[in-house]
Amino acid sequence: MKILLVAVNAKYIHSNPAVHSLRSCAGEYKSCTEIAEFTINQPTGFILREIYKRQPDVIAFSCYIWNREVMDALIPDLHRILPQADIWAGGPEVSYDAAETAAKWGLRGVMTGPGEAAFARLAAAYGTGTSRELPTVLDGNNMPRLSLDEIPFWYEDMKDFENRIIYYESSRGCPFSCSYCLSSIDRTMDFRRPERVCRELDFFLEKKVPQVKFVDRTFNCKKEHALPILRHILEHDNGVTNFHFEIAADLLDEDYFAVLEKLRPGAVQLEIGVQSTCEETIAEICRQMNFERVAAVVRRVSSWGNIHIHLDLIAGLPFEDLRRFQISFNDVYALRPQQLQLGFLKVLKGSRMERQAPEYDLAYTSRPPYEVLSTRWLSYEDVCHLKQLEETVEIYYNSGQFTHTLECMLPLFENAFSMYESLAQWYEKNGLFGIQSSRIRKYEILLEWGTAQISRCGQAQAKRLLSALREYLLYDLYLRENMKNRPAFAPSLEPWKDAIHDILHRESEEHTLFPELAEYNYRELTKALHAEVFTAVFDEPALALFGYAKRDPLTGNGTVAILRDI
């Protein structure tokens, strides 16, 4: 007897903790259970062949909004090539219309609710030959739940997870009731004991995995759970591993700050769901969030320069029209997080938002990811407008490659939203959306757009701003990468050739600016470092030496040394 748990992930770097957790709870039938992970980018024909090769007796799919359409294509053909196999499905995408999905896909059944106990029963039924007694809807809510402490730690052979994000669950459930989120349906909270969590994190620390992403909905909702874990990370930092947490910022207090401030730069990432700064919207979606408190926390944490901050917004929420969304965007942008995710409302099956959709005149796509098309407050044209703005934010802000240039341009606009709106209009006007532009081309586009905006200024101001724009583009470019070919907008370095030679020669002898390159001679330094002269950036001629051996763990930028006496 062979049971095959199948995950179809959104990207190769993702893994699926659900199938690993289910297999770990199969008890004596664990050896009969295998896992196959694919991605939505692989042809369904390839996935079909790989499943067929395994010749499973039972196939169980983990279903989410990102892989639903793959399932629609895959399952009918599996019935044709493996007619003897029973096919099951589970996960949020099939849990709230389980009977209908089972009928549509011709499934033996659907697992709903907490999956570990349900799968343990399923595996035992097939192992003992009593699978016919299983109901079509196998509901984990009708069985004794396995607590998180009863679920084994399934990470053993890390070869299966090379080059992938490691997911870890220290708590299950959420104390909050956000109407768009499935976590609000079952408010039952369960926590893995902190001492056990710390022991398991030591495994990742010992293996020096690059990143561990906690899937806890609100990691810090219980202080006596979260704080000991953060302290353990501080005390046992290996200098490599990064831990990602979704948190409620307004729950952080001085005890948290005392730990967070001491963390190694890059040891922790904090993802904070702001969603909206409109109080009426926050109340309507049953969310608890004090934005003034959140903003104060973000500013304080940002001031330490050691923690990557990711802030989320959701477009399409009730009571937020385009004008009000602009305010939310500008409020969050003013905090300068490392990432600003402009997301769009997903109307998930079984959520309160789905039930309230008619009340909000909420239209959304008929197929996954069930994304908002329009609301009473936001037209489809508005949504399209925000989609284009989202793309420019992803390219130019979230990449972190244009930080200084964007700050240089921002004073020309009423606010940040207006700047990205202008950039999106430039993309639309010039047919740039949908084109995969090279890195250098993105800089050129920013120069073309910036030049057009600056041309509206007075002649003297325009000349000064255009010079600054070109220099900031060059500064951002070399801060991230030592380009082999200088861009067309870069000025000649010929007048500074001797000064650059002298500075690099001195550095090859003294190694005061880049001590990490102490073993490099002059010739090697000319390849490892890049020299550039800026005037507008520093209000006087100054030479910048860019190095790439050490990078900022928050931004990915190289290091730069500024020499003004040249």
Q: What is the pLDDT of residues 394-447, one digit of tens each?
A: 999 999 999 999 999 999 999 999 999 999 999 999 999 999 999 999 999 999
What mean pLDDT, rounded, does the chain reach?
95
Cα(4)–Cα(531) distance, integer angstroms: 56
Cα(439)–Cα(452) distance, integer angstroms: 21
Token output for 191: 């926590």
Q: Does the pLDDT at position 459 exceed 90?
A: no
Position of tokens 């050896």? 31
In the chain, the amino acid numbered 494 is E
Cα(38)–Cα(48) distance, integer angstroms: 11
DSSP state of 79: H
- pLDDT tens, 241-262? 999 999 999 999 999 999 999 9
Q: What percent of the chain has pLDDT over 70?
A: 100
Average pLDDT over residues 292-310: 98
Average pLDDT over residues 281-307: 96
pLDDT on residue 345? 98
Q: Does the pLDDT at position 225 exceed 80?
A: yes
Q: How would residue 303 be classed by pLDDT, with cut points 50, 70 and 90?
A: very high
Token output for 287: 């969310």
pLDDT on residue 184? 67
Average pLDDT over residues 481-505: 92
Provide φ and ψ at 38, rounded to 5°: -130, -175
Kindly report whether the peptide bond that precedes residue 369 is cis, defined as omega within 30 degrees of 0. Answer: yes
Kindly report whether the peptide bond that precedes residue 337 is cis, defined as omega within 30 degrees of 0. Answer: no
- pLDDT tens, 115-148? 999 999 999 999 999 999 999 999 999 999 899 9
Average pLDDT over residues 208-227: 96
Dihedral of CA atoms 353, 355, 358, 364 in degrees, nearest 10, equals 50
Average pLDDT over residues 13-27: 95
Q: Does the pLDDT at position 516 exceed 70?
A: yes
Cα(177)–Cα(186) distance, integer angstroms: 9
Q: How would residue 477 be classed by pLDDT, with cut points 50, 70 and 90?
A: very high
pLDDT on residue 157? 81
Q: Does the pLDDT at position 545 exceed 80?
A: yes
| DSSP H or E run through 283 | helix 279-284
pLDDT on residue 145? 87
Q: Does the pLDDT at position 186 exceed 80?
A: no
Q: Does the pLDDT at position 110 exceed 70?
A: yes
Compute the residue count for the chain: 566
Residues contacting residue 468 through CB under 8 Å, at least 6 positions apart: 408, 536, 537
pLDDT on residue 539? 85
